[in-house]
Structure 1
Amino acid sequence: MRLIVFDIGGTTVKRGIWEHQRLSEVSSFPTPATFDGLLEKMASSMHRNDRQFTGIAVSAPGAVDQEQRKIRGISAVPYIHQRPLFDELEQYFDLPVMIENDANCAGIAEVELGVGKEAQNIAFVVLGTGVGGALFVKRKLYKGSHLFGGEIGLLKSQNDQTFSQNGTLVKAANIYSEQTNSCVDGKALYALEENGNVLATMLLDKMHEIMANNLYSLQVMFDPELIVLGGGISGQPALADELSKRLFEQLKKEGIEEIMPSIKCCSFHNDANLIGAALNFQKNCHP
């Protein structure tokens, strides 16, 4: 089986080739403004390779309804929603197509081949510009009754803001930039903390606490044995230990520390969506 794999994002579309359980030839192109433009760029990226493909695996934003063969909801790529996308891609490329939500794809990659391959019940939490996620029960992806299983970013805290609105590294960096009339990103904010910057330390402490609060809600609702952290911030080596310490203290305060999960950062980082899309194709599509 030789797949061409695409990860559709609001800014860029990544592509790669999946063969012999290995991802290779990863590249990207700017996300086109129209659906026809997307088809043309996908076709162009396929024609650069002289060997035939078995099928097309896609990671995409939105609520992917595989039974109705369309993507519901909204995202930064509006033209992929509310249309017979599976059928259109299959007709255009004359190849079988399988599409899955991007956070679900990343979770599939970690569960099947990454840090979650020994666990049974897993919560995958994507900490990016916003917060996403995926839930796995007995190693099977759980989508919920309305395809909203794993929408962790919509958890609300006491200030009535969602996890995505107030618990991200991007949010903390933006506050620092506003208060200091500067322009820093998340990586720079962590560097400032290491150098003893008081404001950076305070903002990151608040961010970690908000993250731990939401992981507490996730743990008592879903009770996974493993929480996997993804997104750009997962590259911070101390993140898993920091959140583990804070979550344990919250559970202990309620006398339920025995349900403490293991918390680990993901294995595949930027390649997770592509790998998960390929694995999802292998499992669900039989050309």
Structure 2
Amino acid sequence: MALLALDIGGTSIKYGVWENEKISNKGSLKTPKTWTEMKVQLKDLKKRAEEQIPLEGVAISSPGAVNQDKGIIEGASAIPYIHHFPIFAELTELFQCPVSIENDANCAGLAEVWKGAAKGLKNVLFVVVGSGIGGAVIMDGKVWHGKHLFGGEFGFMLLTDNNTFSDLGTAVNMARRTAKRKNIPEDELSGKDVFDMAEQGDPIALEEVETFYHYLAQGIYNLQYSFDPEKIIIGGGVSSKEDLIPQLNKRLEKIIKQVKIASFMPEITLCKFKNDANLIGAVYNYKQKWCQAPQMDN
């Protein structure tokens, strides 16, 4: 079975062909400015792929709140023209084959459960730490969307009276706070810069790094004791930081000591997949939708 896998993003569309349990023929193109242009380019992608191998269907990762029942993408994203119309039906007609679409964070979570850091597990949280905090809730091996399609929107969680998980638990906002305190333009300071400054003993950077780790650990603790997953997977840009897990475990140990009733530490690990995560997860979502539910690799 071969599938065309697409990862639609605000700046680019990544694509590849899934065959023999791997992604090949990968590439990308700039995200078109209109839906009409996008359909032309997507149809051409499929045509070119089929010149090499017959395709069974198309598996898509997309931004936005994907409503599987209604066949539309709700919410909003950096690609406004993909929302609030029967996109499933239009793409099925365009491609003349079965189509699946799932939210990009949910696809990344599915990839980790299928073949990644949570392979063989059924109940997992995938936490994406980027400019904000999002992710996916995987229950019994499937995405749990929630009544309002807000499953995995962990960043909305309040960690203080006025600050959300996204406000306090990301390296991006850590850099913004540091820049503000140092009276320098926000775009001149990255999260990596702040980590480097802290290692050199900068007092403001040290405070902001501690704030970041503390609240990221607190959010993870809250998620563990709310959902009680088998494992929590960390993704996003900060997942490339080699000492992230030891630093989080250090803060989690402090929290566990403070909350006497808490009896175990959350099991957290870094994601396995980086650039291909959404493509792989889109394929798994397709398999769940159109094929006999595949067994997770053990």
TM-score normalised by structure 1 residue count: 0.93
- CA 1:196–1:43: 2 relative to 1, 3 Å: farther
Question: Structure 2 matches for 1:1-287, cutoff 5 A?
Answer: 1-49=1-49, 50-51=51-52, 52-178=54-180, 179-181=182-184, 183-286=188-291
Separation in 1 of the partners of 2:227 and 2:106?
A: 17
Separation in 2 of the partners of 1:171 and 1:232?
A: 13
RMSD: 1.9
Separation in 1 of the partners of 2:257 and 2:107?
A: 33
Give the superposition deviation at 1:104.
Answer: 0.7
Separation in 2 of the partners of 1:201 and 1:176?
A: 10
Q: Which moved more, 1:117-126 or 1:261-270?
A: 117-126
CA contact (8 A) 1:135 1:143 kept: yes
For residues 1-52 of structure 1, what are the alpha-carbon distances to aligned partners after superposition, in whole Å with 9 as ceiling and x for unaligned? 1111111122222112211110123222222221112212223333443223
CA contact (8 A) 2:46 2:95 kept: no
Separation in 1 of the partners of 2:212 and 2:177?
A: 11
Separation in 2 of the partners of 1:259 and 1:141?
A: 25
Separation in 1 of the partners of 2:258 and 2:97?
A: 55
Give the superposition deviation at 1:252.
Answer: 2.5
Q: Secondary structure at the match of 2:224?
A: helix
Separation in 2 of the partners of 1:256 and 1:22?
A: 45
CA contact (8 A) 1:154 1:163 kept: yes
How many residue pairs end up in the alignment?
287
Separation in 1 of the partners of 2:279 and 2:261?
A: 37
Separation in 2 of the partners of 1:257 and 1:242?
A: 19
Aligned-pair identity in percent equals 41
Q: Secondary structure at the match of 1:5?
A: strand
Q: Which runs of 5+ in 2 are unaligned?
A: 293-298
Separation in 1 of the partners of 2:199 and 2:46?
A: 45
Q: Secondary structure at the match of 2:92?
A: helix
Give the superposition deviation at 1:286.
Answer: 4.2
Separation in 1 of the partners of 2:48 and 2:178?
A: 44
CA contact (8 A) 1:232 1:269 kept: no
- CA 1:73–1:99: 2 relative to 1, 3 Å: same
Q: Which moved more, 1:101-110 or 1:88-97?
A: 88-97
- CA 1:66–1:15: 2 relative to 1, 3 Å: same
Separation in 2 of the partners of 1:158 and 1:75?
A: 27
Q: Which runs of 5+ in 1 are unaligned?
A: none
The one-letter code matched in structure 2 to 1:135 is V
- CA 1:81–1:198: 2 relative to 1, 3 Å: same
Separation in 2 of the partners of 1:185 and 1:248?
A: 28
The one-letter code matched in structure 2 to 1:123 is L
